[in-house]
Amino acid sequence: MGSLAAVLRHPDDLYPLLKLKMASRQAEKQIPPEPHWAFCYSMLHKVSRSFALVIQQLGTDLRNAVCIFYLVLRALDTVEDDTSIPTDVKVPILIAFHRHVYDREWHFSCGTKEYKVLMDQFHHVSTAFLELGKGYQDAIEDITKRMGAGMAKFICKEVESIDDYDEYCYYVAGLVGLGLSKLFYASGTEDLAPDSLSNSMGLFLQKTNIIRDYLEDINEIPKCRMFWPREIWSKYVNKLEDLKYEENSDKAVQCLNDMVTNALMHVEDCLKYMSALRDHAIFRFCAIPQDSPLKSLTEQTT
């Protein structure tokens, strides 16, 4: 219903979305028949909110690399998110995760539902990873190593300042932007984008998600970690959860506008990044996910 409501608010998007859906169905017919690839693309649809369609319209080699990149980072994120894992167990796994992708036998049971399936059968992802070109493997390993180290750092670190907020978003999303730029470059279709622009592509999406998911996250049981920076929300309320109460609605809107303004600072970099892309499929891959957050942010402000 949420997707339908979004389309109804933006009917001009319907035709491009239908074209993308048809292109992805055509791409599905070209997915390798081997069981490990079938597992990877099946899991991609189950654990991806929005990227499965745009990934599948990329060229074959790049599509496979981005699919595995997404699943590796999703698995890493599953370890980070599982609050049942003791810190002394979780931190070494996060730090060593980049090595596990080379091990066809490695798996680690954690997460729930489809994420648990991904972790229990991670050997399929490793098998597919090992079939990628070395340039793709090197890029995925590098980003996974840096992201795992960053996640480990923030296991015991709260997001207090805006600098903390930017640093956290860099580790969990900015590095995704850098990794995708490396994969585009390894495919031979794009120049290597500046790190600053790649980082902004990830930060804009991540900050939008953090803003959008406030109520869902703050009400989660057991309570999850929140990543709204204290430097922003403490200007309006004493406790972050106070923003959800109706009596604080005016303050909540003011705080929301503050958070949205911070996210919109990355838009110019995102436009510069996308304007330099040459491959139409890569441009669509980058532009479509960025379009929805921009509309979402502008609709939330008053």
Secondary element (H or E) of residue 156: none
- Report the C-alpha gap between 255 and 233 in whole angstroms: 6
- Report the C-alpha gap between 194 and 183 in whole angstroms: 14
Task: State yes or no: is 25 an active-site residue.
Answer: no
The tokens 């999406």 sit on which residue? 205
Contacts of residue 216, defined as CB under 8 A and 6 or more positions apart, other chains included, come to: none
Single out the catalytic residue among 104, 146, 225, 230.
225
Task: State yes or no: is 168 an active-site residue.
Answer: yes
Single out the catalytic residue among 51, 129, 136, 285.
285
Single out the catalytic residue among 168, 171, 184, 227.
168
Task: State yes or no: is 285 an active-site residue.
Answer: yes
Looking at this protein, which amino acid is placed at residue 67? C
- Report the C-alpha gap between 246 and 224 in whole angstroms: 22
The tokens 């995704």 sit on which residue? 176
| Chain centroid offset of residue 236 CA | 29
Task: State yes or no: is 212 an active-site residue.
Answer: yes
Single out the catalytic residue among 108, 212, 230, 283.
212
Give the C-alpha distances (Å, rounded to integers) separating 44 from 48, 59, 80, 176, 282: 6, 17, 19, 16, 18
The residues that are catalytic are: 168, 212, 225, 285
